[in-house]
Structure 1
Amino acid sequence: MDVRHVMPGRYHHGDLRAELVRASLDLIAEQGLQGFSVAQAARRAKVSPGAPYRHFADRESLLAAVARTITDQLTGRVRTAAESHTDPQAALAAAAGAYTGYLIERRAGLHIVFADGLQGPRHTELHERTRELIDQFLLLCLSVSTSPQLALELLEQLLTQAHGYGTCYLDGFFRRHGYSADLVVRKSTEAARMVIRGYRERAE
């Protein structure tokens, strides 16, 4: 690494690209997407404002790398939650709760993955990883649905609901009522169970 790009008094060891992604994730977790910028990520990583541009062409490129990390982490969380249950309905409900939990913890979810500017052909790797995440949810929905159409409707309902629970917590709505993050995750999971049961009854 060219040490001229490191802030005075500090020498950055390791992979600067990965460090900038980690710094950006931390900024988003602390301040939301509005707290994210290349300059702020550079300050958090303790490098000069110009250093990130050796790895990322612009803010959009860095945000795309952050979004790829989010999809990877979410995919892992969802898979772990689902695999802890043998019953398909319980597995799907747990996956929805895992999404809510991640959103609360990291302030990161599909709103960042689908942020403005990340949908073009520059970001095919992000699109592929996002598809893997959505497909994981869709396969769980198919396992409890009687038709692909119902599975797609259920997927839409559960993702919207899981994201909504997390957003309401982050926006302070649930906290005003004294709800802890763990309680909100449990409520999200239970709400998912009720929706799944409703879709099952609708199909019978």
Structure 2
Amino acid sequence: MTLYTVDTLLTLVLLSVLFAFGSSRVPALIKVMAFQGIVVSIIPFFITPHMATGAVIFTIATLVIRGVLIPLSIHLAIRKVAIQRDVAPIVGYHASLFFGLGLIVAAAVISRYLNIPSISDSRLLFPAAISLLVTGMFLLMARRNAIAMVIGYIMLENGIYLMGTTFSVRARHIVEFGILLDVLAGVMIMAVILQNIKQTFDDVDTSLLRTLKE
């Protein structure tokens, strides 16, 4: 039953990856990011039979930061800059969606041939982690909208977290929590920067930064 739950959650994560590739709506991307953050945060509860009290506290704190605080911070940022849609991406949405399909298939095939030790019997844990990693990097490189790039960075970090969960859910909690606090602080700083970009250029297209002069 537990394995079935994990596989179901990871299947939903993979579907959300496809949605992220094909969506141009920034609020929708924020919801996808929040969903992914919640899922990757609760996975340790299902793959670890007995978690220590400290591990439970760290996991819940991670859930709050990934699933609530970071998405809320980005949501408040887009309300200030009044951006609802990512236009003129470097890679089109249809091409992005096909890339996402290929990515999921490739991740599933590659994971079968890699002899990677895992603490879970789920066959989707490693493919989902790889898919999140590559999706985050793709959004960073293939989108012009600064907010979409920030969301890509958070998805990348979610993939790193899920990858770590594949190997262990105990020893890395303090380090991961420290990194997560840095990410939260970075998102808040990004919100201020995005507002300044919007005030200067009346847009959050990062290509406009090339026009800046010393």
Is TM > 0.5 for Structure 1 vs Structure 2?
no
Q: Which has the higher contact order (CA 8 A, sep 6+)?
A: 2
TM-score w.r.t. the length of structure 1 is: 0.29
Query: Which has the larger Rg?
Result: 1
Q: TM-score, normalised by structure 2?
A: 0.28
